[in-house]
């Protein structure tokens, strides 16, 4: 490494934030395995993980990695040569030179989510931040990467052709014109070159009165109490309700990528909002299909009972209603099939 020698475990002069989702753990292992133990940077990692179980991700990533890999601990300082990994069910953000780990509203359907980590690193470490987006679906990480770039940081993206799932890399490339895409091996080389050029420890940006929502964003850990105002709406309402809490969503256009937070801070990007609505539609269609099939079965039974009692007028009426329900069920079944095909594209 060039520049001023840095002791592993000392305060960082650079911060590397990495986000991954579906298909991203293998890419993450390869990336970390190519970085040296004396990397003069703190590395913070968010991988979309389901909550409710103990994650072995830190132990998995430590295999074949010269860096020190730890599960992120609330209040721990950022340190050179240390990889801090978010835990399931908790967001990981940076605040005043330390890690903050805690619950809070999901963002883009995830907790931990990538965007809050990227935004917080950009807010506190500005030009010293390098954001890396690896394999994943939808667009978590794109808005956070935009914030990193706006604050003078660098955005790197796994080559979409190499990524197991290209959604997140492609979304980031669309959002950040200056983002650089490369295979994982090249990303590691770029990281080493970049952090080696930074000569001094990074100053922590305390009390940024000028920080806009673009920088502060929605802080799901609650450290940034002004992220979503308690009284004034955080944006204009497009007339949409948040699934789960039924809260009203607001639309924020203070950046090229619109965001949709609700009052409690649960936020969605455009892509995750569309995916959520698609899931809601599919769920409603399955309920309707089940109801129609039950209705058809009921009227077939009523027709059979009426036939046994010789009530022919009731037989005809029940069979007509059963046929009508079956036709409607077939229409919904075809819609579900089309939705399934669209989801595969």
pLDDT-based confidence at residue 161 (cuts at 50, 70, 90): very high
Asked about 48 being catalytic, the answer comes back as: yes
Break the chain into its structural domains and give their ranges. 15-197, 271-344
Q: What is the pLDDT of residues 44-92, one digit of tens each?
A: 999 998 776 667 899 999 998 999 999 999 999 999 999 999 999 899 9
Which one is the CATH code of 15-197: 3.40.50.180, 3.50.50.60, 3.30.70.100, 3.40.50.300? 3.40.50.180
- 161 is a catalytic site residue: no
Question: Whose CA is closest to 236, among 248, 250, 223?
Answer: 250
| Distant-in-sequence, close-in-space partners of 237: CB < 8 Å, separation ≥ 6 | 248, 249, 250, 251
| Per-position DSSP letters for 196-239, written without gaps between them | HH--SPPPP----TT--HHHH---TTSS-TTSS-SSS-SSB--S
Task: Please say if 120 is a catalytic residue.
Answer: no
Task: Please provide the DSSP assignment of 144-171 as one string.
Answer: HHHHHHHTT-EEEEE-TTTSSS-HHHHH
- In the predicted structure, residue 248 carries a pLDDT above the cut 50: no
State pLDDT tens for residues 18-52: 999 999 999 999 999 999 999 999 999 999 987 76
**Distance between CA atoms of residues 319 and 151, nearest Å:** 68
Q: Give the least confident one: 9-13, 92-96, 111-115, 227-231.
A: 227-231
Residue given tokens 């390869």 in the structure block: 30
Where are the extended beta strands (E) located within 226-336? Answer: 259-261, 267-269
Q: Is a pLDDT exceeding 50 seen at residue 3?
A: no
115, 139, 140, 219: which is the annotated catalytic residue?
140
């Amino acid at each position: 490494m060039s520049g001023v020698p840095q002791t592993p475990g000392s305060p960082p002069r650079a911060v590397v934030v990495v986000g991954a989702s579906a298909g991203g753990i293998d890419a993450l292992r390869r990336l970390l395995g190519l970085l040296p133990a004396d990397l003069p940077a703190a590395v913070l990692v968010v991988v979309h993980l389901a909550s409710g179980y103990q994650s072995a991700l830190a132990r998995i990533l430590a295999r074949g990695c010269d860096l020190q890999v730890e599960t992120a601990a609330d209040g721990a300082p950022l340190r050179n040569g240390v990889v801090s990994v978010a835990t399931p069910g908790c967001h990981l953000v940076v605040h005043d030179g330390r890690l903050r780990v805690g619950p809070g509203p999901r963002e883009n359907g995830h907790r931990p989510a990538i965007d809050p980590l990227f935004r917080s690193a950009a807010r506190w470490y500005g030009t010293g931040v390098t954001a890396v987006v690896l394999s994943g679906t939808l667009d978590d990480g794109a808005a956070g990467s935009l914030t990193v770039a706006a604050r003078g940081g660098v955005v790197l993206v796994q080559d979409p052709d190499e990524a197991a799932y290209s959604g997140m890399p492609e979304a980031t490339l669309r959002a950040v014109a200056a983002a650089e895409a490369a295979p994982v091996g090249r990303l590691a080389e770029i990281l080493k070159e970049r952090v080696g050029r930074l000569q001094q420890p990074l100053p922590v940006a305390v009390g940024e009165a000028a920080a806009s929502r673009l920088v502060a964003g929605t802080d799901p850990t609650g450290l940034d109490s002004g992220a979503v105002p308690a009284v004034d709406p955080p944006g204009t309402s497009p007339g949409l309700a948040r699934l789960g809490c039924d809260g009203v969503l607001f639309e924020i256009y203070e950046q090229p990528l619109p965001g949709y937070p609700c009052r409690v801070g649960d936020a969605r990007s455009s892509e995750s909002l569309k995916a959520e609505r698609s899931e809601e539609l599919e769920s409603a269609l399955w309920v309707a299909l089940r109801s129609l099939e039950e209705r058809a079965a009921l009227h077939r039974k009523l027709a059979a009972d009426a036939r046994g009692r010789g009530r022919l007028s009731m037989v005809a009426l029940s069979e007509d209603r059963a046929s009508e329900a079956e036709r409607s069920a077939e229409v919904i079944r075809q819609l579900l099939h089309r939705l399934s095909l669209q989801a595969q594209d």
